Chains A and B, each alone.
Chain A
Amino acid sequence: MKYVDEFRDRALADKLARQIVQEALPERDYHFMEFCGGHTHAIFRYGVQDLMPDNVEFVHGPGCPVCVLPVRRLDDAVELAEKQGVILCSYGDMMRVPGTKQRSLIRAKADGADIRMVYSTLDALKIARDNPDRQVVFFAIGFETTTPPTAVAILQAQAEGLTNFSVFCNHVLTPAAIGHILDSPDFAPGGPARIDGFLGPSHVSAVIGSAPYEAAAKKYAKPVVIAGFEPLDVMQSVLMLIRQVNEGRAEVENEYTRVVTREGNRKAQALVDKVLELRPSFEWRGLGAVADSALSIRDAYGEFDAERRFAISKKQSRETKSCECPAILRGVKKPTDCKLFGTVCTPDNPMGSCMVSSEGACAAYWTYGRFRAPVREAEVA
């Protein structure tokens, strides 16, 4: 596969590994947060950690849209499917995430709700066309990458007069979350956790460009390297971060130049801006309420907003007790610090979202790295 296989080349990996060992200063250590679950997944899937010296550590960030969606919003989606009798279209990733009382979409489906897994908003539109006498709701989740396809679907529905289609919008924004993490007391100087730099989002940045991170890099004096999701991209970006740290720089650099530009995809940005607007505040699992961190549907397209079309009840939503997802999402704890990890909570019986999504830190630890867990724990202690 062109543009894929070259970036998984073992010989280059060996070279980069040697270079990283050579440039990482032995008298200090390096804590880099990979914001995106895509990076978490790549690190575990390819065993990148094995190629790193002991003093370079990855801190897993909240960049998994499935993981950061608060239980309340998932409960709302389940309610839409069960009480409003709609056809709820969801990406496969959300299907097994447990809501209040472990209720997931897949369980609601088993109980008779009409929930369909889709691969694309194009499929959701097709379902709406094929079922003109049913209400079809697309359960929209994801960061800036996944947002433009939602905007296009709303515009398409309007153009076709698909009045039975609407969107339950849960799109969230990356730069706001990065700022929020760096503002938290956990990461203040002397706080319990430390970040020396960020592996910046790859495909989010394909849409928004690298410019939006510049303010944060400057304000918090943390280097950011936009990194592709292939394992060599991760290694090259780590090397670039080490160099910035060693040289006392805190800039936004771009390793993923084959896709990401400074300005991003202007057309996609314009389409999103046309249909969606900033929410003043949105709840993130793990981070709490984060200002200006999510999008909702503009008034002009209000008829396609499931939150306006359907009355969704106020209800008590509950996280599973003792689930450490929130702290893990903030990068303050490791999955192995959680009492439930690997005992009560496994991918077969997930208690929290981090164990469901293949990008979730817990699922990645379990699926790819369980055998390393004791070693990691010792390091943390």
Chain B
Amino acid sequence: MTFADRASARLSGRVDMTHGGGGRAMADLIRDLFRRHLSNPILDEGDDAALFDMPQGRLVMATDGHVISPLFFPGGDIGALAVHGTLNDIAMSGARPLYLTAGFILEEGFPLADLDRLVASMARAAEEAGVPVVTGDTKVVEKGKGDGVFITTTGLGVVPEDVHVSASRAKPGQAILLSGSIGDHGVAILSKRENLEFETEIRSDTAALHGLVGAMIEAVPGIAVLRDPTRGGLAATLNEIAHAARVGMLLDEAAIPVKPDVAAACELLGLDPLHVANEGKLVCFCASEDAETLLGVMRAHPLGRDAALIGHVREDDASMVQMTTSFGGSRLVDWIAGEQLPRIC
């Protein structure tokens, strides 16, 4: 059987328990699907562990489990998301990511063609980011014990000597910058949820942000805080920082970019864009005199075109994030309680 025959036979099938059994079926799957897409010199060694030289500087490590429904969504899929999510966690420490690992939990019965698409997408994302997946693992669980595919990725990166990025470094007077419009990812996912379906051109913003971060750090090495507002949205991220640094914040609602379709979908479902997830945005806290420079750098990068100054840090022992509404009043911006559920009232 030629390689092409073998590949097509494999892609017409489904994941079964033998794919996790440690025997030939598993070896074939790894060779024909995972390694074929993700190929790089370290992975191709085929050992259980990845071997590489010790990089210079301080190391950072991050891990992120990815579960999402649906697995394929407008603008991305779980494969790309699993790469971007971990790369962004690494990047938010000001680091340059070097290597990724990937662990797959597959559910018995999952179509191999879909798995192939996911892994291909993952490979593309890793390639675009310039960060190889150097080792991985696959397990299969019985039907009903998983949700198609779960992917856990771990990343390793290196931080330049003069860079010290941490939520605890938020200080009164600093400017708060946001790299672009909020809520795109969450709305793209919701649009495909059963019982909520609506049509929209909005696509997930899933993207790897370390390139943008690299440009920002180069221009202003003294950046105090970087965070990507994922689950819980911008509101959750800013509250986390406020609590970590025991500071307050004052935001300007009118300055926060929200696409008209995202605003419309939120109105329809009774959601607040501040609580809706992003996968390709960051917030940055910096000295107010550096804000203009950084905004210039961000806007020159494709992932920061709509960057905006959205507020500033201020003293507040109670760690409140407040906002001047575009209506002229003021309100508190709190984290969301539990899961965000569409409401009727």
- List chain A positions with a Cβ less than 8 A from chain B: 1, 4, 8, 10, 13-14, 17, 37-38, 44-51, 64-66, 91-93, 95-96, 106, 116-120, 123, 126, 142, 146, 231, 346-348, 350, 357-359, 366-371
| Contact between chains at A64 and B345 (CB < 8 Å) | yes
Min CB gap A156→B, angstroms:
16
Min CB gap A89→B, angstroms:
9
Interface on chain B toward A: helix, strand, loop, or mixed SS? loop
Whether A357 touches B331, Cβ cut-off 8 Å, given contacts A8-B326, A119-B269, is no
Question: Contacting A92 at CB < 8 Å: which of B320, B322, B331, B342?
Answer: B342
| Contact between chains at A46 and B331 (CB < 8 Å) | yes
| Contact between chains at B343 and A93 (CB < 8 Å) | yes
Min CB gap B180→A, angstroms:
21
Note all chain A residues with C-beta closer than 8 A to B320.
370-371
B302 within 8 A of A: no
Give the docked Cα–Cα distance between A1 and B331 (Å): 22
| Contact between chains at B327 and A47 (CB < 8 Å) | yes
| Contact between chains at A49 and B329 (CB < 8 Å) | yes
B309-323 residues with Cβ-Cβ distance < 8 A to A are 318, 320, 322
| Contact between chains at A367 and B332 (CB < 8 Å) | yes
B325 within 8 A of A: yes
| Contact between chains at B344 and A92 (CB < 8 Å) | yes
Task: Known pairs A10-B327, A47-B330, A117-B341; list 6 more (Cβ under 8 Å).
Answer: A47-B324, A49-B329, A93-B344, A96-B341, A117-B342, A142-B345
Note all chain B residues with C-beta closer than 8 A to A50.
328-330
By Cβ-Cβ distance, the 9 closest A-B pairs, closest first, are: A47-B329, A347-B337, A92-B341, A50-B329, A46-B327, A123-B195, A368-B331, A47-B330, A91-B344
| Contact between chains at A1 and B337 (CB < 8 Å) | no
| Contact between chains at B345 and A37 (CB < 8 Å) | yes
| Contact between chains at A119 and B342 (CB < 8 Å) | yes
Min CB gap B324→A, angstroms:
8
Question: Contacting A96 at CB < 8 Å: which of B195, B324, B332, B338?
Answer: B338
Note all chain B residues with C-beta closer than 8 A to A118.
195
B22 within 8 A of A: no
Of A64, A117, A123, A359, most buried by chain B (CB within 10 Å of CB) is A117
19 A–B contacts from the bound complex (CB under 8 Å) = A8-B326, A10-B327, A44-B331, A47-B327, A47-B329, A47-B330, A50-B329, A51-B327, A51-B329, A93-B341, A93-B344, A96-B338, A96-B341, A117-B195, A117-B341, A119-B269, A348-B337, A348-B338, A369-B332
What range describes how many residues of B lie at the interface? 20 to 34
**Least CB separation from A91: chain B residue:** B344
| Contact between chains at A146 and B195 (CB < 8 Å) | no
Whether A8 touches B327, Cβ cut-off 8 Å, given contacts A93-B343, A95-B341, A119-B195, is yes
Give the docked Cα–Cα distance between A130 and B76 (Å): 29
Whether A358 touches B329, Cβ cut-off 8 Å, given contacts A93-B345, A117-B195, A117-B341, is no
Give the docked Cα–Cα distance between A116 and B341 (Å): 12
| Contact between chains at B325 and A65 (CB < 8 Å) | no
B334 within 8 A of A: yes
Min CB gap B218→A, angstroms:
38
| Contact between chains at B334 and A367 (CB < 8 Å) | yes
B263 within 8 A of A: yes
Give the docked Cα–Cα distance between A116 and B193 (Å): 13
B46 within 8 A of A: no
Question: Contacting A45 at CB < 8 Å: which of B269, B331, B341, B344?
Answer: B331
Note all chain A residues with C-beta closer than 8 A to B263.
1
Give the docked Cα–Cα distance between A127 and B253 (Å): 39
| Contact between chains at A357 and B345 (CB < 8 Å) | yes
* Proximity bits, B229-253, A CB within 8 Å = 1, else 0: 0000000000000000000000000
**Least CB separation from A17: chain B residue:** B328
B21 within 8 A of A: no
Give the docked Cα–Cα distance between A366 and B331 (Å): 10
Min CB gap B181→A, angstroms:
16
**Least CB separation from A127: chain B residue:** B195
